[in-house]
A and B are shown apart, each in its own frame.
Chain A
Amino acid sequence: MKSAVVLLPGLNRDRDMIAALTKISGTPPVTVWQTDTEIPDVDLIAIPGGFSFGDYLRCGAIAARMPVMRAVAEKAAAGVTVIGVCNGFQILVEAGLLPGALMRNTSLKFVCRQVKLEITNANTMFTRRYQPGQIIRSPVAHHDGNYFADADTLARLEGEGQVVFRYAEDTNPNGSINDIAGIVNSQGNVLGLMPHPENLIEAAHGGTDGRGLFESALGIAA
Chain B
Amino acid sequence: MIKARITVTLKNGVLDPQGKAIEHALSGLGFGGVGTVRQGKVFDVELAESDKAKAEADLKAMCDKLLANTVIENYSVTLT
Contacts and interface: CB of A to CB of B under 8 A. Distances in A.
Interface in A91-105: 94, 99-101, 103-105
Given A57-B67, A61-B66, A148 B17 contact: no
Main secondary structure, interface of A, reads: loop
A58 B18 CA distance: 14
Contacts, number: 37
Interface string A63-106: 00100000000000000000000000000001000011101111
B66 A150 contact: no
Contacts of B67: 57
Chain A interface bracket (under 10, 10 to 19, 20 to 34, 35 or more)? 10 to 19
A214 B14 CA distance: 33
Interface residues of B, number: 12
B15 A148 contact: yes
A106 B20 CA distance: 9
A175 interface: yes
B66 A65 contact: yes
A65 B72 contact: no
Closest 9 A-B residue pairs measured CB to CB? A101-B71, A101-B72, A106-B17, A104-B17, A108-B17, A108-B21, A101-B69, A58-B69, A104-B18
Given A104-B17, A148-B72, 10 more contacts: A65-B66, A103-B17, A106-B17, A108-B18, A108-B21, A148-B14, A148-B15, A149-B71, A175-B15, A175-B17
Interface of A: 57-58, 61, 65, 94, 99-101, 103-108, 146, 148-150, 175
25 contacts: A57-B66, A58-B69, A61-B66, A61-B69, A65-B65, A65-B66, A99-B71, A101-B71, A101-B72, A103-B14, A103-B15, A103-B17, A103-B72, A104-B18, A105-B17, A106-B15, A106-B17, A108-B17, A108-B21, A146-B17, A148-B14, A148-B15, A148-B72, A149-B71, A150-B13
